[in-house]
Amino acid sequence: MHTPPNDPKKREALLETVKKLAEVPTIPMGSMGEAYEFFKQVEADLKAAEDDPELYNALMFVRTRLKKAMEARAREVGKSDDWAEAMKEHDTMLLLRPLFRAQNDAQEYINTYRGLSAEQKAALDYWGKKTGIHLPRHEVFEAELRWNSIRRGSILRLIPDPEHNRTWFERLKAVLLVLLLAVGLAFAIGSYSRITTLVLLALLVVVAATWTRDFITFIRKRRQADGTVRITNFGQ
């Protein structure tokens, strides 16, 4: 399988194959190893067909039938416990797939997290214990959205954002800002100008606090990116 859903001819061929599998009394499996490889192929196609409801639902029906058949075969060969644990990992990935997909869109992630069912929340807890990857709660993204609104919609936007300082000129502006404030503060202290000193000191504190918050956001995004890589590799 592994057919890209954006290829109309291959999509139709895959859909026809899936429908035929759904109609037969018993899905041909071969050995447990062969059946498991076929199961993983079906799941890969499910992932590719997430934006194609007709194909996705047909594949999900085949997955359900195949899973039941494999559970029966596992009982016959005395491997039911091992099979149940393996399927729990696959079911967890399937249940949490909407949350994984939403990680690059803060608002979508918030909406998806808030809409998690009891079964999905249990899967999320299992996922954290199994992998050590704890996906952030929706409050984290809500706080990030609030910060982005303040950062971009107020005078703070004049402070260079370290995350966007990718050229030497942008980095130079950030360095010059700090140097200008530091030199100005030194002159103010030297001239015993209390008001100027307080103003410049307050500006330095604001810049430092802003960059600290930017750094926290940057670290969270890096950890999220690392977690996404581990999510991709989990269960393969």
Say if residues 15 and 21 touch (Cβ distance below 8 Å): no
Averaged over successive runs of 10 residues, the pLDDT of the chain (236 residues) comes to 60 72 62 80 85 85 85 81 85 90 86 92 89 82 79 71 64 71 77 79 81 76 58 48
What per-residue confidence (pLDDT) applies to 26? 62
Say if residues 66 and 22 touch (Cβ distance below 8 Å): no
pTM assigned to the model: 0.60
Q: 183: closest CA among 169, 197, 165?
A: 197
For the chain, which residues make up each domain, given as ranges? 1-78, 154-226
- For the chain, report the end-to-end CA distance as a whole number of angstroms: 17
Residue 159, Cα to own-chain centre: how many angstroms?
29
Angstrom distance (rounded) from CA 210 to CA 214: 6
What lies within 8 Å, CB to CB, of 5 at 6+ separation is 11, 48, 49, 51, 52, 55
- Measured at the CA of 66, the angle between CA 34 and CA 128, to 5 degrees, comes to 90
Phi-psi region of 132 (alpha: psi -120 to 50; beta: other; left: phi over 0): left
What per-residue confidence (pLDDT) applies to 236? 47
Q: 218: closest CA among 150, 148, 170, 117?
A: 148
Angstrom distance (rounded) from CA 65 to CA 21: 9
Distances (CA, A) of 194 to 179, 180, 185, 197: 20, 18, 10, 5
